Amino acid sequence: MVSGFPPPLLGRLSFLLGKLHLLTLEAEDEGLAQLDVGVKQHAALSVLVGEGPMTQQELGRRMGVDRTTVVGVVDALDERELVERRRSPADRRSNLLTVTASGHETEQRGRRLVADAEERVLDGLDGSDRDRLRELLGRALGGG
């Protein structure tokens, strides 16, 4: 598939990133569809699995989104019984989000599906170039 976009756009970093971002999101969503979770939901699940129980506020901070946005994400995960909202005993204003057994399973399967989807998106690059792209993106973001 030839991109077909004119040089003035292909030389623009925001355009390259935007297009590839869109393609990647679509591929990941398509892959996760069989688990009935979206990219955002699975990302939240992964953070909770990787970092342990935390409040909605804290989840939002780590994902870089507002706490009002977190409500909808957790609603979706809660409905599917992938996470539970437990009232924190220490501070009863906050919910301690905990991943259920089914949630752990979904997170693990999803991780594989996401990885497969990303490989399809990066079809035009060989293995070492894929690694290099990830490494460069991470370094550009500052964390490495």
Partner DNA sequence: TATTGTTATACTCTATAACTATA
Partner DNA sequence: TATAGTTATAGAGTATAACAATA
Query: Which position among 31, 38, 50, 84 is part of the footprint of its own copies (CB under 8 A)?
Result: 50
Which of its own copies, DNA, none binds 74 (CB below 5-8 Å, type-dependent)? DNA
Q: Where are the beta strands (DSSP E) in 1-121?
A: 83-87, 95-99
Spatial CA neighbour of 77 closest among 108, 52, 106, 113:
106
Interaction partner, residue 66 (DNA, its own copies, none; CB < 5-8 Å by kind): DNA
Which of 94, 92, 122, 128 is CA-nearest to residue 27? 122
Tell me whether residue 22 or residue 87 sits nearer to its own copies (CB atom). Answer: 22
- Are 95 and 88 a contacting pair, CB within 8 Å? yes
Q: Which of 23, 30, 75, 102 binds its own copies (CB under 8 A)?
A: 23
Please check whether residue 73 is in contact with residue 81, taking contact to mean a CB–CB distance below 8 angstroms: no
Residue from 7, 13, 92, 142 binding DNA (CB under 7 A): 92
- List the interface residues with its own copies, window 53-112 (CB under 8 A): 62-64
Return d(Cα 91, Cα 8) in angstroms, integer.
54
Nearer to its own copies among residue 89 and residue 128 (C-beta): 128
Q: How far apart are CA 83 and CA 81, in angstroms?
A: 5
> In the complex, which residues of this chain contact its own copies (CB under 8 A)?
1-21, 23-25, 28, 39, 43, 46-47, 49-51, 62-64, 114, 118, 120-125, 129, 132-134, 136-144
